[in-house]
Amino acid sequence: MNRHVPLRGIIGYTLTPFRTDGKVDLDKLQTLTGRMVDSGVHAIAPLGSTGCLPYLDDEEREAVAEATVKAVGGRVPVMVGVSSLTTERTLHHARFAERVGADAVMIIPMSYWKLTEEEIFRHFDTVARAISLPIMAYNNPATGGLDMTPEFLARLLEIPNVTMVKESTGDVGRMHRLRQVAGEEVAFFNGSNPLALAAFAAGARGWCTAAAHLIPELTLELYRQVVEKANLVEARKVFQQQLPLLQFIVKGGLPRTVSAGLELLGTEVGPLRAPLLPLPKPEVDALRRILGEASSHPM
């Protein structure tokens, strides 16, 4: 049976940088992606929330997927976000990702109208049948507007190539519940940054995080301490060290805060796409302080 789970550890979510003329900056995207791979993360995930997926048009999405796969060059797995409001567009982008060499795709069901479970199931099932890549079902009601219960996620996992779940509700109880209903071997990943330690303790295979743009070494160290060494005392120490940054990027919104953080670290990443605005100055100052304290070297 084909329960392929190509991911584990720190899955780095990449920002989509823009040029000053408003177009996607593919060169900068490849630089950022390459640098993140160099930092040691275990996988790369373009076109997620951090990548501003829903604000890009079809051509831009395809270009980002293709450029990312090239920049990674097979060094680590690439999981491409292919979500769209309609099933037809989701399917289109899933096929495109497969064609350009992605290792997995991620799908978050998105709402304008609240979807019924039957609608969400058919949405996944239709896309899953059209590709052979493994699919990560992504639950994040705060952005996608739809909430999938552990029981429903277990049902989705019965689709042969839906092999992974990403949980971003911030409720670690959901993860334990998922193990209860889908079996102890279920491959679930954490998408809620401030829950990183608790999720690994609960058995998460990996942590999907844009923090890998700013503090890759701390995210990797947490993984090492809690998963590889089972050293909870050290794990708590390294987690508390990065927690203010994790809280900050969640509270301020990933594109705004990660862009600002990258610029503080010396990399210009261009404007955000309207209506998104750059992080306000007082918050940039707060971020500078938090980033300095997390990395323990002056900025």
* Rounded-to-integer distance, Cα 214 and Cα 226, Å: 21
Cα distances (Å, whole numbers) of residue 176 to 39, 67, 117, 210, 233: 31, 37, 21, 24, 22
Stretch that binds a second copy, among 36-44, 61-69, 228-236, 289-297 (CB under 8 A): 228-236
What character string, x for contact with a second copy (CB under 8 A) and - otherwise, covers 134-163?
--------xxxx------------------
Give the up-direction half-sphere exposure of residue 178: CA atoms within 13 A in the CB hemisphere: 31
DSSP secondary structure string for all residues of 99-132: HHT-SEEEE----SSPPPHHHHHHHHHHHHHH--
Q: Is 244 exposed, middle or buried (0-12, 13-18, 19+ CB in 10 A)?
A: middle
Q: Which amino acid is at 156?
A: L
Instruction: Cite the beta strand spans of 149-278 per DSSP E.
Output: 162-167, 188-190, 206-209
* Smallest distance from a second copy to CB 76, Å: 25
Among 37, 104, 197, 212, binds a second copy (CB under 8 A): 197
Q: Which amino acid is at 32?
A: L
Nearer to a second copy, 30 or 61 (CB): 61
Residues of this chain, 106-125, that bind a second copy according to CB under 8 A: 109-116, 118-120, 122-123
Nearer to a second copy, 37 or 148 (CB): 148
Among 15, 102, 226, 290, binds a second copy (CB under 8 A): 226
* Smallest distance from a second copy to CB 130, Å: 13
* Smallest distance from a second copy to CB 75, Å: 29
Structure tokens at 188: 């679930």
Among 126, 149, 267, 295, binds a second copy (CB under 8 A): 126
237 is catalytic: no
13 is catalytic: no
Residue where the block lists tokens 């609608």 = 119
Residues 6+ apart with CB under 8 A from 27: none
* Catalytic member of 13, 23, 70, 166: 166
* Smallest distance from a second copy to CB 73, Å: 30
Q: Is 261 exposed, middle or buried (0-12, 13-18, 19+ CB in 10 A)?
A: buried
Contact between 194 and a second copy by CB under 8 A: the answer reads yes
Catalytic residue list: 138, 166
Residues contributing to the site for a second copy (CB under 8 A): 22, 49, 52-55, 85-88, 109-116, 118-120, 122-123, 126, 142-145, 170-173, 176-177, 179-180, 184, 194-195, 197-198, 201-203, 226, 230-233, 235-236, 239-240, 243-244, 247, 253-255, 273-277, 280
